[in-house]
Amino acid sequence: QKEVEQNSGPLSVPEGAIASLNCTYSDRGSQSFFWYRQYSGKSPELIMSIYSNGDKEDGRFTAQLNKASQYVSLLIRDSQPSDSATYLCATGENTGFQKLVFGTGTRLLVSP
């Protein structure tokens, strides 16, 4: 059973701080990793993807991947109240078609 584990939170950070969201996965065959943001009552939206070990930056977001430790994280710099949402980690196999396994998500609360 392939699993993606996340702390459900909530993770509370003050406005302007760095939020660090973490995810571990069980399947060593995972080759692709994604972060989705889901606002309460809304659908997920894809915000980051990462395929290689190391860091990938996109604006205020940085995804970090360590395949040896089976660990992926998302850093949000200069957190804003509008970043308050649930962040879903998902892993996939690059077998031609992406079959993603989602974690249960971490709820982030950014206070003004």
Partner 1 sequence: EAGVAQSPRYKIIEKRQSVAFWCNPISGHATLYWYQQILGQGPKLLIQFQNNGVVDDSQLPKDRFSAERLKGVDSTLKIQPAKLEDSAVYLCASSPSNGPPSSFGPGTRLTVT
53: contact with partner 1 by CB under 8 A: no
DSSP-assigned letters across all residues of the chain = ---EE-----EEEETTSPEEEEEEES-TT--EEEEEEE-TTS--EEEEEE-SSEEEEETTEEEEEETTTTEEEEEESS--GGG-EEEEEEEE--SSS---EE---EEEEEE-
Of 7 and 17, nearer to partner 1 (C-beta) is 7
47: contact with partner 1 by CB under 8 A: no
Q: Which of 15, 45, 55, 57 touches partner 1 by CB under 8 A?
A: 45
Stretch of residues binding partner 1 (CB under 8 A), selected from 13-21, 52-60, 72-80, 95-103: 95-103
Binding site for partner 1 (CB under 8 A): 4, 8, 32, 34, 42-46, 49, 88, 90, 92, 96-100, 102-105
